[in-house]
Amino acid sequence: MKTIKDIQLLKGVKVLVRADFNVPVKNDVVVDDYRIQATLPTINFLREKGAKVILISHLEASDGSNGSLSPVAKQLKKLGQEVVFIENWKNANNIIENEMKDGGCVLLENLRYFDGEKANDTKFSKELASLADIYVNDAFSVSHRAHASVVGVTKYLSSYAGLQLEKEIGNLSKVFNPAHPFLFILGGAKFETKLPLLEKFMDIADFVFVGGALATDIFKEKGYEIGKSLVSKGDFDLLRFANNPKLLLPLDLSNQNREIKPVNGLNKEDQSMDSGPETLELLKQKVSGAKFILWNGPLGVYEKGFKDNTLKLAKMIAEATSNGTETIVGGGDTLAAIAENGDQGKFTFVSTGGGAMLEFLAKGTLPGIEVLNNS
């Protein structure tokens, strides 16, 4: 796969960069700019070489609708990037051709305002390609999507990986040949998206801890009463993992009022909201003995405020990193916990991907990576 470091001449070259600026915004202000900062090395590399950088991205508002990238443009400027925000795409070609200087940078408005983006429409892909001479994908977290700005545009431009995409592939690939003991911590919900990881890493890891709502799914299949706890939809035949000595499950659960032993069952009105203190002690023991840790997903219902033990786990893994353990973490709520602790720089690698991380770990590649390999 070619990266931007392989491009011989960049001065005056128009470079279309697919970035991931899908960041949380509140009151028109970016509240977590980790993904923006992750793209800065690629932007700076291109600008310092004299390229004309054209940034494209999408952004979803908190209600799931498409939101303006205007707050991202403001945040880029706060981070030292002189960037022109092009709100109206009709003006893009004129500004790029007639107003951009070598080393200049523009940001176009949200890609998903156009139906052709998610549909991977040929016409829209060609429109994107018409803006530039070269295409760069630096958006790992959307590279599992066969969208126009990820896959379609590569048919019409010479295409390269950005520095962040290269880092994501290199670091996440370490998981396929890790140091041992290897501890894999898998939390959150939606077994339909995480089952492939359990199937794959039950063979590779020394221990696989399953927490969050995923653990409730296994308890249910083992015949335990789970009350009103969240479970995934579907039949995943989880009993095939239940007796594997590598599998670790929560020793205790926490609801709003008390600690519960899963083996004793919950009351029918109970809802498991977090792991309990005995579970945290088990994790502390396994984390301290591991040489390689992969973590994706919270231990509790993070979005409803049940995050104490997830935050404590983040601190444990950060401390293990300082003691020489290789640690790779990712996932939306996982990143939120790290940010809340102020521990972003205390892990070997923090992936910008959520679903993309899960799919890459399961398959070893993504549609957005495959087209670069074949370009």
Output the DSSP codes for 65-113.
Answer: SB--SHHHHHHHHHTT---EEE--GGGHHHHHHHTPPTT-EEEE--GGG
- Do 234 and 206 lie in one domain? The reply is yes
Q: Which of 98, 131, 165 is the last residue of a domain?
A: 165
Among residues 103, 227, 355, 364, the one annotated as catalytic is 355
CATH number of the domain residue 90 falls in? 3.40.50.1260
Instruction: Find the helix packing angle between 212-221 and 191-204, rounded to 10°.
Output: 80
Task: Report the percentage of the chain scoring pLDDT > 90.
Answer: 71
- Do 15 and 111 lie in one domain? The reply is yes
- Do 204 and 273 lie in one domain? The reply is yes
- Do 222 and 346 lie in one domain? The reply is yes
Structure tokens at 19: 């970035």
Structure tokens at 128: 């994107």
- Structure confidence by residue, pLDDT tens digits, 39-51: 999 999 999 999 9
Say what the pLDDT of residue 128 is. 98
Residues 135, 158: contact at Cβ < 8 Å?
A: yes
Q: Which of 135, 165, 195 is the last residue of a domain?
A: 165
Q: What are the angstrom distances between the C-alpha of 284 and each of 277, 278, 279? A: 10, 10, 9
Residues 361, 146: contact at Cβ < 8 Å?
A: no
At 317 the three-state DSSP class reads helix
pLDDT band, residue 308 (cuts 50/70/90):
confident
- Considering the domain boundaries, does residue 17 fall inside one? yes
- Do 120 and 191 lie in one domain? The reply is no
* Contact partners, residue 38, CB within 8 Å, separation at least 6: 20, 164, 352
Distance from chain centroid for Cα 338 = 13
- Do 154 and 205 lie in one domain? The reply is no
- Considering the domain boundaries, does residue 83 fall inside one? yes
DSSP alpha helix (H) spans, the chain: 34-48, 70-78, 92-98, 115-118, 122-129, 163-172, 191-204, 212-221, 239-242, 277-289, 308-322, 332-341, 355-363, 367-373
**Nearest partner of 10 among 160, 170, 139, judged by Cα:** 160
* Contact partners, residue 89, CB within 8 Å, separation at least 6: 108, 109, 114
Task: Using the Cα atoms of residue 116, residue 122, residue 127 and residue 133 in order, give the sign of their dihedral.
Answer: positive
Structure tokens at 286: 């396994």
Question: Is 64 considered catalytic here?
Answer: no
- Structure confidence by residue, pLDDT tens digits, 206-254: 999 999 888 888 888 888 888 778 777 777 788 888 889 999 999 988 7
* pLDDT tops 90 at residue 351: yes
- Considering the domain boundaries, does residue 170 fall inside one? no
Burial class (CB within 10 angstroms; exposed 0-12, middle 13-18, buried 19+) of 14: middle
Question: Is 35 considered catalytic here?
Answer: yes
- Considering the domain boundaries, does residue 367 fall inside one? no
CA angle 228, 232, 233 (to 5 degrees): 105
- Considering the domain boundaries, does residue 61 fall inside one? yes
- Do 88 and 189 lie in one domain? The reply is no
Among residues 330, 332, 353, 368, the one annotated as catalytic is 332
Which pTM does this prediction carry?
0.92
- Do 71 and 111 lie in one domain? The reply is yes
Q: What is the mean pLDDT of residues 83-91?
A: 96
Structure tokens at 211: 């927490």
- Do 41 and 152 lie in one domain? The reply is yes
- Do 108 and 208 lie in one domain? The reply is no
* pLDDT tops 90 at residue 169: yes
Count of C-beta atoms within a 10 Å radius of residue 30: 21
Q: What is the C-alpha separation between 341 and 337, in angstroms, rounded?
A: 6
Say what the pLDDT of residue 342 is. 81
Say what the pLDDT of residue 336 is. 83
Please give the residue range of the domain that contains residue 306: 178-362
Task: Report the percentage of the chain scoring pLDDT > 70.
Answer: 98
**Nearest partner of 274 among 218, 326, 343, 213, judged by Cα:** 213
- Do 143 and 214 lie in one domain? The reply is no
- Considering the domain boundaries, does residue 374 fall inside one? no
- Considering the domain boundaries, does residue 185 fall inside one? yes
Q: What is the mean pLDDT of residues 94-113?
A: 97
- Considering the domain boundaries, does residue 347 fall inside one? yes
Residues 153, 128: contact at Cβ < 8 Å?
A: yes
Q: What is the C-alpha separation between 370 and 146, in angstroms, rounded?
A: 11
User: Would you say how long the chain is, in residues?
Assistant: 375
Count of C-beta atoms within a 10 Å radius of residue 61: 12
Lowest mean pLDDT among 92-101, 190-199, 348-357: 190-199
Structure tokens at 299: 């231990």
Domains: count for the chain = 2
Q: Which of 116, 137, 165 is the last residue of a domain?
A: 165
- Do 132 and 263 lie in one domain? The reply is no
Question: Is 190 considered catalytic here?
Answer: yes
Question: Is 354 considered catalytic here?
Answer: no
HSE, CB side, 13 Å, CA atoms: give it for residue 64.
0
User: Across the chain, what does the average pLDDT equal?
Assistant: 92
